[in-house]
Amino acid sequence: MKKITKGIYYLEDLGTPSIISMYLIDSKKKVLIESGPSATVSQLIQAIVSAGFRPSEIDHIVVTHIHLDHAGGASLLLQAMPNADVLVSKKGAPHLIEPSRLRASAKSALGPIFEIWGGIEATNSSRIHTVEDGVSLDLGDHVLQFLSTPGHAPHHISILEESSRVLFTGDAVGIYYNDLDALIPASPPPSFDVELALQSLNRLSETNPQVLLTPHYGIQDNPSIFLKRNLETYARWKEIVNSNLEKGSDLDFIIEDLCQAYPSYRTLVNDVYRGTLFRMDIKGYLK
């Protein structure tokens, strides 16, 4: 566990390989940011206990969106957190209550990664509450503001802690591999929209965040630089993909052009887990 600022903690990265970075807010009302996937629920519970908290103390689990790496473990977590509810956007809530379409879509898009993340079980509607853009939640010592940030998914939200200006981005920003200094868009099919993603990145910049807490992966202490890099990367991918589409190029040619523009990507291509995500995120641009 690492303290970010008063009452806000970076718990740890879940999964092997790493799937998601997890954060906890210790206020009068305690909040877990994301549930993580179902495959890592036991690891998350152990991380919470190791950090000095009890699962029964958690009041809210906020999920930025309902993809399986962010919300797949919600139903299982609630079994261990009897006093908690799940906060999610209005558009996302129905897919937690009845996840069959989400499960089928994830199996199709994720391929072998589906087994690494695990599936998703239905969440009781009585334990789900929806949040809307601009609404604030007073936790006692912290106030969270919810921001609609579509692009990665139409129902995506980000969360700003108002006093510290700590911003929980969700997948409104790309996947950053610290060991490679490599950034790729978080752009999975079928719902990725690059124009909305660029608008959301600009909106996050306008919130004047002091720290970004990202799910993939970790802390960004220079928000303006990181968000600018995201804007440039998302736009450059659009140019490269569209240029290849105009020439009738297949996926292999697109990958090669991206690797020429970003040499660190060559390592990603040859990694089973990262390479699968890399190819999937290219496909999000192909719609």
Taking residues 255-283, what's their average pLDDT?
96
CATH number at residue 40: 3.60.15.10
Is 262 a domain residue?
Answer: no
Is 72 a domain residue?
Answer: yes
Number of Cβ within a 10 Å radius of residue 203: 16
Residue 287, pLDDT score = 74
Residue 194, pLDDT score = 98
| Spatial CA neighbour of 172 closest among 222, 216, 136, 142 | 216
Residue 32 DSSP class: E
Is 278 a domain residue?
Answer: no
Hunting for tokens 């697109």 — which residue is that?
254
If you average pLDDT over every residue of the chain, what do you get?
97
Domain count, the chain: 1
Is 268 a domain residue?
Answer: no
Q: Has this prediction a pTM greater than 0.75?
A: yes
Residue 109, pLDDT score = 86
| Spatial CA neighbour of 88 closest among 114, 54, 125, 55 | 125
Q: Is the per-residue pLDDT at 35 higher than 90?
A: yes
Is 251 a domain residue?
Answer: no
- Domain of 131, in residue numbers: 2-228
Is 133 a domain residue?
Answer: yes
DSSP, collapsed to helix, strand or coil, labels residue 271 as: coil
Confidence of residue 108 (pLDDT cuts 50, 70, 90): confident
pLDDT in tens, 49-79: 999 999 999 999 999 999 999 999 999 999 9
Taking residues 230-249, what's their average pLDDT?
96
Is 213 a domain residue?
Answer: yes
Taking residues 185-195, what's their average pLDDT?
96
